Structure 1
Amino acid sequence: MSTAVPADSIRARDIDRAETSTLLDAAYAEGQLEAGEYHDRVAQARSAKTLGELRRLVADLQTPAATGRLSPGAAHESRSAASRAGTKAGYPPRTRARDADRANAGALIDAGRQDGQLTEEEHRVLTELLGSARTLGELADLVADLQGSRRVPTRPVPAVPPVSGRNPALLLAAGLVAAFVGFAVTSPDSGSPVPEAAPGSAAAPGRDDIAAVVIETPDLLTSAGLAHFLAEYREKFGDMAADSVYLYPEFATIDRAVPGATNREVGYDYRGGFTQSDDITTRRTDTQAMDLGLLDPAAIGTAAANAVEATRVPGGAVSMMIVAIESSGDLAGRPVVRIYVQNEFDESGTVYVDPVGAILDISIFEG
């Protein structure tokens, strides 16, 4: 009798890694990714061992037009899993925005100034916020209370993978997110009427509200950011158990067991708040959960601050951290924090530390 292997644990092929890299290339060209995060994700795609690792790299992207329909493999698996986080109507709000989406939102803001909806100062503030908007949900929030000829189209979720975002503090309320799920801003002359918000509803924030939501979340790869994340994790879930946590400067992804069902696993994204990113899937019952309560944010932050020097990566910076129980190698069965360092040339190194920041191993760049 064969044992079922979770889809995320299936080994990746070279073609799966190539397909994911192709998608990242096209997404970068469309403005969905900034240079640093693009190089970071491409490097991770090249070294990915499983389809689950590849899926995490593309879970929040729109499918770039230039990719067409990729052949079956990691990319297909990634998108089919990612699409479950949204609705049949289209992309979820956390999906990365393209340059074209930002341009269309800018046109709506400009039109709002021209027809008297916005003062000059309000227009200036919104234009500045537009420049830092990274997701479709953030763009939707910026234009939510503007009249004009615009529409919120129903975008079919494509079969190939679209992958995660900026500061989610711009998401004003759950009702606004529901109203704009799958949002892709269109041009002001599209001809469809504006959906009207009920008076006083969260879908029609005032200008003061927009100014107030620009709240920076600490860099999660620092002591302060990690401490902030752990405090919110405990508040959200009431415990500190996790199968794995992937930490990036502005967001994190989490896999954890479903409470009361150790054979079921669910994924979450964290961007200033936690949202379920995957349907519940099968979990190996022998999976060892990590106790995040063991982590010493100050010590790990210090290790991260010293990681560039330790790995000898020229011009490098800490790009991500992975927190989990090691499943293989000399550190198998131990709780480990992997601190990844990378530069713009994809040269990299890794520092392995225990929950209190003690160095267990170092992978040094030997260029």
Structure 2
Amino acid sequence: MSSRSSEMPETPNAASGAMRARDVDRVRARTLLDAAYEEGQLGAEEYHDRSDRAGTARTIGQLRGLVADLQPPAGVAGWSDPPRPNPAHRIGRYPDHIRARDEDRDLTWRALDVALADGQLSTEEHRTLTELTAEAKTLGDLAGLTEDLQKPAPAPIDPRSKIRPRAAWFAGAMVVVAIAAAVGGYRLTHRSSPPLAPVSAPVPQAVQPLVIETPDLTTAAGFDKFRSLYRAKFGDTAVDQVSLFPEYASIDRTTLAQPNRVADYDYRGGFLATSAMTTREKDKPILDLATVNVAALGDLINRSVALTKVEGGAVSHIIMDIDSITEAPTISVYVGNKFNERGYVEATPAGQLIRVSPFGD
């Protein structure tokens, strides 16, 4: 059998197949190929060909095609696509022709930065898309730049979409109520009351500025502070996923009370909801940040540069979530340097190493 014939045609699930692949997706595909080779499902030449192509695959569809004809090897979970962005994330948003704000461009830049860090984009692609983001005029222009990412940039909600259909006609009508009453010989026909008499200006008071400390969230101390603030804000430590960057965090929050719902939040010294609530699989486990051993996390962070063999590297971001294959809580520490050399380590919340992906492998 020709090795090229092993790449199966795209399934009808085109939206999922067009999603960008992360480094972790490539690693999982190659792990499956390794196990299939050991079982004799693939010959040496075909195994090496598929493994090489998995290492350079750009989309989930390309990775899926490389493993679609394999039997799940013993002890290794079969291939499963990462969850697609919920179609509901477009519900209630402004039409594409609406003009974009600087805030909308910032959200797109951040989504592109995350995609660069986890291997969905090359340095050149990231640079090009970043430049296009700066030039984007409309929300449609911005949406097109991240629509193939596993986590597209959120779009602002149109407040007009919350109006009930039966009352929609009322929103566009101008209602003028003329109040006619004789009060002391004055006929009121105003839409608002007359202005109040001026009052004396308050005496200026010296106010000390409020400074909100934002620690480096990619350190053990920063995570510990973030977790405390998270608990104080929401009353628990349950999340679907949290991505920690030095100066901010992105949170997909779910709760035990509503395990089939997830809401997106940003943290920059305070928590801000960034999108409407969407649906998740209710049987998917929920990550409890309280189970993260802070001392073990600090040790993992301190060892991550050496483990990943990234010369002059530093921790770029940390992702805590539920592994889509094993359904086990996982901490992934990503390391990079100015030459875009990257690696990552995965561990349990207790600090036990699961996988190391050093630069060059």
CA contact (8 A) 1:326 1:334 kept: yes
Matched, 1:246 2:243: yes
User: Which of the pair has the greater relative contact order for Cα pairs under 8 Å at 6+ separation?
Assistant: 1
Matched, 1:366 2:352: no
One of 339, 342, 348 as aligned partner of 2:336: 342
Q: CA 1:218/1:335 → structure 2, altered by over 3 Å: closer, same or farther?
A: same
CA distance in 2, matches of 1:340, 1:79: 20
Deviation at 1:322, TM superposition (A): 0.5
Matched, 1:75 2:146: yes
TM-score by length of 1: 0.50
Equivalences for 1:179-328 in 2 at 5 Å?
A: 208-209=207-208, 212-257=209-254, 260-328=257-325
Q: CA 1:79/1:208 → structure 2, altered by over 3 Å: closer, same or farther?
A: farther
Matched, 1:44 2:117: yes
Deviation at 1:75, TM superposition (A): 2.4
Deviation per CA, 1:97-154, whole angstroms, max 9, x where unpaired? xxxxxxxxxxxxxxxxxxxxxxxxxxxxxxxxxxxxxxxxxxxxxxxxxxxxxxxxxx
One of 45, 60, 65 as aligned partner of 2:135: 65
Query: What is the DSSP-based 3-state SS (H/G/I as helix, E as strand, rest coil) of the residue aligned with 2:260?
Result: strand
CA contact (8 A) 2:238 2:289 kept: yes
CA contact (8 A) 1:221 1:301 kept: no
Paired residues in the alignment total 220
Structure showing greater Rg: 2
Query: What is the DSSP-based 3-state SS (H/G/I as helix, E as strand, rest coil) of the residue aligned with 1:287?
Result: coil
CA contact (8 A) 2:239 2:255 kept: no
Equivalences for 1:134-173 in 2 at 5 Å?
A: none
Question: Percent of counterpart pairs with the same letter?
Answer: 36
Q: CA 1:240/1:208 → structure 2, altered by over 3 Å: closer, same or farther?
A: same
CA distance in 1, matches of 2:250, 2:349: 19
Query: What is the DSSP-based 3-state SS (H/G/I as helix, E as strand, rest coil) of the residue aligned with 1:230?
Result: helix
CA contact (8 A) 1:39 1:346 kept: no
Query: What is the DSSP-based 3-state SS (H/G/I as helix, E as strand, rest coil) of the residue aligned with 2:285?
Result: coil
Deviation at 1:252, TM superposition (A): 0.8
CA contact (8 A) 2:310 2:342 kept: yes
CA contact (8 A) 1:40 1:319 kept: no
Structure 2 unaligned regions, length at least 5: 1-12, 21-57, 61-104, 161-199
Aligned residue in 2 for 1:12: 19
TM-score by length of 2: 0.51
Query: What is the DSSP-based 3-state SS (H/G/I as helix, E as strand, rest coil) of the residue aligned with 2:154?
Result: helix
Instruction: Name the amino acid aligned to 2:272.
Output: T
Deviation per CA, 1:323-356, whole angstroms, max 9, x where unpaired? 011112xxx1221100000111111010111112
Deviation at 1:258, TM superposition (A): 5.3
Q: CA 1:38/1:318 → structure 2, altered by over 3 Å: closer, same or farther?
A: farther
Aligned residue in 2 for 1:356: 350
Query: What is the DSSP-based 3-state SS (H/G/I as helix, E as strand, rest coil) of the residue aligned with 2:259?
Result: strand
